[in-house]
Structure 1
Amino acid sequence: MSQTVAVLDIGKTNVKLALFDRGRLLWEKSAPNRIRSGPPYPHEDVESAWSFFLDALREAARTHQINAIVPTAHGAAGALIGEGELAAPVMDYEFTDVDAIEVDYAALRPPFSETLSPKLPAGLNLGRQLAYQKWRCSELFVKARHFVGYPQYWAWRLSGVAVSEVTTIGAHTDLWAPREGQVSSLVRALGVDHLLPPMRRAFEPLGPIQPAIAAATGLASDTPVFCGIHDSNASLLPYLVSRQAPFTVLSTGTWVILMSVGLSLDQLDPRDDTLANVDALGRPIACGRFMGGREYAIITESGGNADLEAIERVIASGAMALPCFSGQGGPYATTAGVLRGEVAAQDRAALATLYCVLVSDLMLTRMGAAIGDLIIEGTFVRNLLFCQTLGALRPSQRVFAAEDASGTARGAAMLAQWPPSYRMVEPAPVAPISISGLDRYRKAWTAIVDLIAR
């Protein structure tokens, strides 16, 4: 049965409204996601995003009958909700002054063995943000009635129903114990258990849109709002229903998130920034992450994609990009990125491609993801040499490219009809490629990186 689903997709860089019918993209519109400088700390500009979504829904409703709404959003963001409004701004996870509470927070923070959530910089552990808000913004914190993940904030804003959801609360927050399938000991230690609303599944409807939203957008008053999902887990959904484990999805954008389904959790190591996220069905998934999209942009300076000749020129020159250029994410977040050797401006994209491939390869190896297909989705799919070079380094694994710039939103749209009754478009196989000197280059790069880390 035809059903048009509107997805509110809140990324770190952009916000987007996209309409889907049985997995087919019908309409989309996007805008930059802004961060306000404060006070009381840098925070998401939720009102600009809200205005964008209302305008976009109104525009889309003129030509499409919208039957459901599903929100998806980036991780490491959560909302303290008061009486009908935010009690405190939604903190930007790159706010570094949360370091001021580290001594007190470390005394409460559960061990990695419980949460499978590594200690991350700035506000990338959502529990750390919550502790900062409680201890340093107490006049705002006392107004809070609920604390919800960022996708569920938008679901609440649309429906008026506050809920918790496992993919969001289980995304390196310190607040979830994945093996036990319950909140971690930090929730009680921090004294915030009363703020967490009931758990609901990502694919559960919460209720209809609020009357004022129906009036402002022209949507039917009974349009249901679904609970919503963490964005990387939205990217994973199509493969959970179409593939047998083991397999790994590389969800690429500002962050590169490596999600290995069917992999043991035993090789996860917080020093490598490997961790467990939780899928929409509540199952822990072995993951790794680094800020590949941002690092790619820093290295290239002007963006663009590489070609094979440029890749081979960089390899022959011995020039290297050595981690880390973002200051967060991956095994070498605490080391400063260095460009070694001379590279022509037109070869910067090749250098950045090699860097992102090598970090991905390293993290896959450390996670133990040595078997099963590799499916690349997101922005790096447009860089064919990224896909081909990763495949050349891992010849025992097949590489596929999900040629879909709307993978996160498309996956989220599936939640309005779960499990889906329609087939998803299969990712395209990436043909194997031979790159002269690549294996030697990897060995040299790895040796240098190992020295830097000591």
Structure 2
Amino acid sequence: MIDVTAVFDIGKTNKKFFLFDSDFKEVYKEYTKFDEIEDEDGHPTENLKALQDWLKNVFKNILKASEYNVKAINFSTYGASFVHLDENGEVLTPLYNYTKPIDKEIIDGFIEKYGPKESFLKTTGCFDLSLLNSGLQLYWIKYTKPEIFKKIKYSLHLPQYLSYIFTGIALSEYTSIGCHTALWDYIKKDYHEWVYKEELHKILPTIVSTETSINMNYNGKRIKIGVGIHDSSSALLPYIRSVKKKFVLISTGTWSIALNPFTDHPIIEDTQDKDSINYMRINGKPVKATRLFLGNEYKIQVSKLDKHFGVSEDYHRHVKFDYDTYFEIIHDFEHMFKWESIVDPDMPEKTKIPYDKFEDAYHQLMTELVMLQIKSIKTVVGNDDIKRLYVDGGFSDNDLFIKLLSHNFRNMKLRTTDSSLGSALGAAVSISDSKLNSKFLKKNYALKKHVPFIIT
């Protein structure tokens, strides 16, 4: 039998289960998806019951497997989601989706009590007030569903609820609290004053370090059970543990999140900048971050180009960077794409495509998208002396994206990693006693170095 750490990595779409050996190599994985259900207002939401049943069944089966000896288990999930429990540990409400709109009166009333908005957003490291801030969800329930609110014994962020399913112990931890919740005062390093005034601290369990684990007898086996971790902070952790020099991580996907864990100035001064947010490291230190709806916009625009040029859906995957095409584009550069999910002052009123070939239009698209990414990275780096960039996620193998980034950050060392396991591996690392060395990314993440192209 091999000793393994089990991790449930729960995304909004894919639910994944991994086993890692003592070298953090994946030895087993299992995926599933659930159809969303609706809350009482007809808004789509996670099927919490199906998720809970799946977790228990998968884990029960793996404990029976003769080839694996499960020593530890942890949980990585998306943030901005609370599970509310009564005194018997029963779930009181649906898992409200952070995309659910709430009445403007609730937000206005909140600002009236605890504003002004600008200083509140700055103090809490948030970029907006909505259910994307899980703290607002507690306020919303308190004033719109008072009967339910009275019954809440504990409100647990989703990673901690998954841990609770296995331990029955309610806890809070830093990475979930620090993820644009509006609960945390980054200056005071404590819950914000409003949390105490509304007496919400009474239903928020004791805060423990993310590295905390509980040794339990589970189905007759002695197992170390972690308290769970927020997925973005989890994806960052293996880099922090194994890279000794300062860096920025660009985690790409539907959203491209640039994370700077080393700044002395983590809070953005400009409260109009809705794309600057804060996350938290496992030790409670703030992480400065910027977000860009990169993958979403890419998908929209590539789909339009596919139709325009009559090429197959995956044609764009095979386009390689062409030096001459790029230099022709920037020689007399103009913006040609009107974005649908990104607001940018430089974009034209409508898209124009003067090209005859898909490859040329695609180079134009990537040039413009990378310009947005450059702005996002420069904002997160600020005045910090950072010489390393790591790119993981979907764009790490996009030839144009990487070559253009490398070209524009010639004074920095650019590395890509294949970390489809990123947040799951981080969850395993966070409850491990192992020290990670500088070879970790090379061994576990297929680390690649990139050199800027030569300008002739």
For normalisation by structure 2, the TM-score amounts to 0.82
What does the per-residue CA deviation read over 1:104-126, in whole Å, with 9 as the maximum and x for residues that have no partner? 12223562342222225x42111
Are 2:142 and 1:140 equivalent residues in the alignment? no
CA contact (8 A) 1:265 1:276 kept: no
What does the per-residue CA deviation read over 1:207-263, in whole Å, with 9 as the maximum and x for residues that have no partner? 437x5xx4xxxxx53222101211111111112122234210112233222111222
**Residue aligning to 1:241:** 241
| Paired amino acid for 2:372 | V
Are 2:450 and 1:430 equivalent residues in the alignment? yes
| Paired amino acid for 1:85 | E
Q: How far did residue 72 of structure 1 move?
A: 0.8
CA RMSD between the two structures? 3.1
**Separation (CA, whole Å) in 2 of partners of 1:413 and 1:391:** 31
- Give secondary structure in 2 for the equivalent of 1:271: coil
**Residue aligning to 1:292:** 294
Q: How many residues align?
A: 422
Question: Which deviates more from structure 2 when the two are superposed, residues 424-433 or residues 191-200?
Answer: 424-433
What does the per-residue CA deviation read over 1:24-55, in whole Å, with 9 as the maximum and x for residues that have no partner? 11111222354323214432222222233334
Alignment of 1:56-135 (within 5 A): 56-61=58-63, 62=65, 63-82=67-86, 83-107=88-112, 108=114, 111-120=120-129, 122-135=130-143
Picking from 420, 434, 444, the partner of 2:435 is: 420
Question: Which deviates more from structure 2 when the two are superposed, residues 65-74 or residues 35-44?
Answer: 35-44
- Give secondary structure in 1 for the equivalent of 2:207: coil
CA contact (8 A) 2:3 2:71 kept: yes
| Paired amino acid for 1:261 | P
Q: How far did residue 322 of structure 1 move?
A: 4.2
**Separation (CA, whole Å) in 2 of partners of 1:335 and 1:127:** 35
Are 2:337 and 1:321 equivalent residues in the alignment? yes
**Separation (CA, whole Å) in 1 of partners of 2:149 and 2:345:** 31
Q: How far did residue 15 of structure 1 move?
A: 1.4
Question: Which deviates more from structure 2 when the two are superposed, residues 94-103 or residues 402-411?
Answer: 94-103
**Residue aligning to 2:372:** 359
**Separation (CA, whole Å) in 2 of partners of 1:424 and 1:276:** 26
Distance 1:230 1:339, change over 3 A: farther
Are 2:400 and 1:400 equivalent residues in the alignment? no
Distance 1:50 1:115, change over 3 A: same
Picking from 36, 47, 50, the partner of 2:52 is: 50
Question: Which deviates more from structure 2 when the two are superposed, residues 403-412 or residues 26-35?
Answer: 26-35
Question: Which deviates more from structure 2 when the two are superposed, residues 340-349 or residues 9-18?
Answer: 340-349
**Separation (CA, whole Å) in 2 of partners of 1:395 and 1:346:** 28
Q: How far did residue 313 of structure 1 move?
A: 9.6
What does the per-residue CA deviation read over 1:373-401, in whole Å, with 9 as the maximum and x for residues that have no partner? 11111222232332222121221111110
Unaligned segments of structure 1, at least 5 residues: 215-219, 327-331, 437-454
Alignment of 1:239-278 (within 5 A): 239-265=239-265, 268=268, 269-272=270-273, 273-278=275-280
**Separation (CA, whole Å) in 2 of partners of 1:337 and 1:185:** 44
- Give secondary structure in 1 for the equivalent of 2:98: coil
**Residue aligning to 1:14:** 14
**Separation (CA, whole Å) in 2 of partners of 1:385 and 1:345:** 16
Distance 1:46 1:338, change over 3 A: farther
Distance 1:292 1:38, change over 3 A: same
CA contact (8 A) 1:27 1:60 kept: no
**Separation (CA, whole Å) in 2 of partners of 1:421 and 1:16:** 24
Q: How far did residue 87 of structure 1 move?
A: 1.6
**Residue aligning to 1:449:** none
What does the per-residue CA deviation read over 1:391-449, in whole Å, with 9 as the maximum and x for residues that have no partner? 2122111111012211111111102214536652233212323689xxxxxxxxxxxxx
Distance 1:410 1:390, change over 3 A: same
**Separation (CA, whole Å) in 2 of partners of 1:187 and 1:158:** 28
**Separation (CA, whole Å) in 1 of partners of 2:345 and 2:146:** 31
**Separation (CA, whole Å) in 1 of partners of 2:357 and 2:91:** 46
- Give secondary structure in 1 for the equivalent of 2:337: strand
**Separation (CA, whole Å) in 1 of partners of 2:60 and 2:127:** 42
CA contact (8 A) 1:159 1:207 kept: no
Distance 1:190 1:361, change over 3 A: farther
CA contact (8 A) 2:74 2:428 kept: yes
Distance 1:370 1:38, change over 3 A: same
CA contact (8 A) 2:290 2:379 kept: no
For normalisation by structure 1, the TM-score amounts to 0.83
Q: How far did residue 197 of structure 1 move?
A: 0.4
- Give secondary structure in 2 for the equivalent of 1:97: coil
**Separation (CA, whole Å) in 2 of partners of 1:180 and 1:411:** 27
CA contact (8 A) 1:88 1:141 kept: no
**Residue aligning to 1:439:** none
Unaligned segments of structure 2, at least 5 residues: 304-312
**Separation (CA, whole Å) in 2 of partners of 1:88 and 1:137:** 10
* Higher CA-based Rg: 2
> Alignment identity in percent?
23
**Residue aligning to 1:441:** none
Picking from 180, 191, 198, the partner of 1:183 is: 191
Distance 1:344 1:180, change over 3 A: farther
**Residue aligning to 1:447:** none
What does the per-residue CA deviation read over 1:265-314, in whole Å, with 9 as the maximum and x for residues that have no partner? 26723322213321011111211123333333223235653431497499
| Paired amino acid for 2:302 | T
Distance 1:60 1:291, change over 3 A: farther
**Residue aligning to 1:340:** 351
What does the per-residue CA deviation read over 1:311-359, in whole Å, with 9 as the maximum and x for residues that have no partner? 7499479564344517xxxxx4999997621277955765664454222
CA contact (8 A) 1:324 1:333 kept: no
- Give secondary structure in 1 for the equivalent of 2:59: helix
Are 2:170 and 1:157 equivalent residues in the alignment? no
Distance 1:97 1:114, change over 3 A: closer
**Separation (CA, whole Å) in 2 of partners of 1:345 and 1:12:** 37
